Structure 1
Amino acid sequence: MRIILLAALDEEADAFMPGKGKALDDAWPRVRRIRAHGHSILLAATGIGKVNIATAAARLHSLHGADLLMTVGTAGKLSSIEGDCFYLARSVQHDYGARKAESFVHYPPGAWPMGPANVEPYEAMADPGTRLPHACITSGDAFIEDAAYAAHLVAALEADVVDMETAAVAQYATSVALPWAGIKATTDDANHESAGDFHANLLAAASRAAQAMERLIAAL
């Protein structure tokens, strides 16, 4: 199987099978090709945010083809879901919609942002047996350091964790009829302490996610 595996940060990409594979000459994104568990894996560090990761997904898919798009790395925790590493069963964008005087109304990306609120999460492929808790991840181009907004994301979108990329991967995959999957480990609680907690916990969380992702790929 040809797998494109995307991580936003160098630290997240480098945690996956460190030292394995061969770097490719593509100028961007930085790519390492790994052959493992019977699969060909293109591992890329894309940079932060939805535009970076969606652009990288499209470029690598065009250049190399793919049977599966995946994302791995870290996230902030929103809900009371138990655990610190999650299979991303669903994803939804939290920053697409309509800003009204009284609230922000969420809509599916690309839909008309008007009329009755309507949120349709992207569904990941079936879990092949990770034994991880299943989470809904919400993504947007903002690092969340606001407990009140975190609570809003739980109430409005039934989100468990938050990052800045996964829903864009899911949107691209859905657009081109590819299955997608993701694993994220949490670094912080999306509150006023998040910036410090993120930096303190980044490497350990990236390692947890990377090890779980390797187990997932081995199960395919």
Structure 2
Amino acid sequence: MIRCGRVPAADLPLDQPLIASPVQTAKRPTVYGILCATIEELTALKARLDVEAEPERHGPTRVWRGRFEGRPLVLAQAGIGKVNAAAAATLLLSLFEAKTLIFSGVAGGLDPDLPVGALLLADRLAIHDYGVVAQGRLTSTASGQIPLGAPELESLAPVPPPVAETLARLAEALGPEADGPVRLGGVITADYFLNCAETRDSLHARFAAQAIDMESGAVNQVAEAWGAPLYVIRTLSDLAGEESHVSYPQMAQMAAHNSALAVMALLPLLAAMDGDEARP
């Protein structure tokens, strides 16, 4: 009786591989992962993007599949705050295999030279409400590190040079058509809505940041861990002072639409960088 079994490796011809070579497959297209936090930001993006009518639901996160010039994209409403944003970013990078992330939305202004409606393209990012509290004072440290003994956070971290170069090109492209100022600048993140001029001025002085939001720094931390480029686009909906609680609800829709327009200008730049490999 002939028995089936494995042939000992020693009995194989020397030129025969132990494991068959994998079948060559075409390079997969880049998937763009676009995130936002609020319903106003989502509405502005859905009005311009070619996405499916119904979303997929993954826990609290809703995700719409779509395409841009034949390239796949996914749009997610993350919800507000660092935890929601980090969870949604991880979802897009893992389950949906996004290779590039974009966060579009509104922010509070810290820079006295920038008015409500100014468009900010983040070339520096950081989380500032992470660190050590001692003697009644928070000492900010870089997020993700053990705070004890860590150096104090004194500046925002610059985005990778290729991202900064693309943002500079985007700013140049938007300049003639923008309704307000377009700037490259720093965005600092914390889990609170800033409604205090004193704190606003202090943050601007300490970190040279132009805006504050509740998500970008967390998404940046996730993107860095995954090795994915992140493009943060924020329009100022308020100036983070005593009147910001009045300005925000009045201007959030305008600010969200302004950022969505910038996303639509960014996507062709990214598509050109990817070349024809992403076309079906």
User: Which one is further off, 160-169 or 23-32?
Assistant: 23-32
- Secondary structure of the corresponding residue to residue 80 of structure 2: coil
CA distance in 2 between counterparts of 1:98 and 1:113 reads 6
**Mapping for residues 23-34 of structure 1, pairs under 5 Å:** 23-27=54-58, 28-34=60-66
**Mapping for residues 1-220 of structure 1, pairs under 5 Å:** 1-18=30-47, 20-22=50-52, 23-27=54-58, 28-82=60-114, 84-101=118-135, 103-115=137-149, 116-119=151-154, 121=157, 123=159, 125-128=163-166, 129-131=169-171, 132-220=182-270
CA distance in 1 between counterparts of 2:135 and 2:245 reads 29
Structure with the higher helix share, 1 or 2: 2
1:160-216: CA deviation from partner (whole Å, max 9, x where unpaired): 100000000100000111111110001101011111100000110000000011101
CA distance in 2 between counterparts of 1:17 and 1:141 reads 26
C-alpha change, 1:54 and 1:148, in structure 2 (3 Å) is same
Percent of residue pairs bearing the same amino acid type:
30
User: Which one is further off, 36-45 or 142-151?
Assistant: 36-45
- Secondary structure of the corresponding residue to residue 151 of structure 1: helix
- Secondary structure of the corresponding residue to residue 47 of structure 1: coil
- Secondary structure of the corresponding residue to residue 133 of structure 1: strand
Q: Is the radius of gyration larger for structure 1 or structure 2?
A: 2
Note the residue ranges of structure 2 that are not aligned, 5 or more in a row: 1-29, 172-181, 271-280
The TM-score with structure 2 as length reference comes to 0.74
Q: What CA RMSD, in Å, does the superposition of the two structures yield over aligned residues?
A: 1.7
Deviation for aligned residue 1:127 = 3.9
Structure with the higher strand share, 1 or 2: 1
Deviation for aligned residue 1:17 = 4.3
Letter in 1 for 2:152: A
1:7-64: CA deviation from partner (whole Å, max 9, x where unpaired): 0112101101417310332244112222113432211111100000101111222211
C-alpha change, 1:17 and 1:127, in structure 2 (3 Å) is farther
Note the residue ranges of structure 1 that are not aligned, 5 or more in a row: none
CA distance in 2 between counterparts of 1:202 and 1:163 reads 13
CA distance in 2 between counterparts of 1:122 and 1:141 reads 21
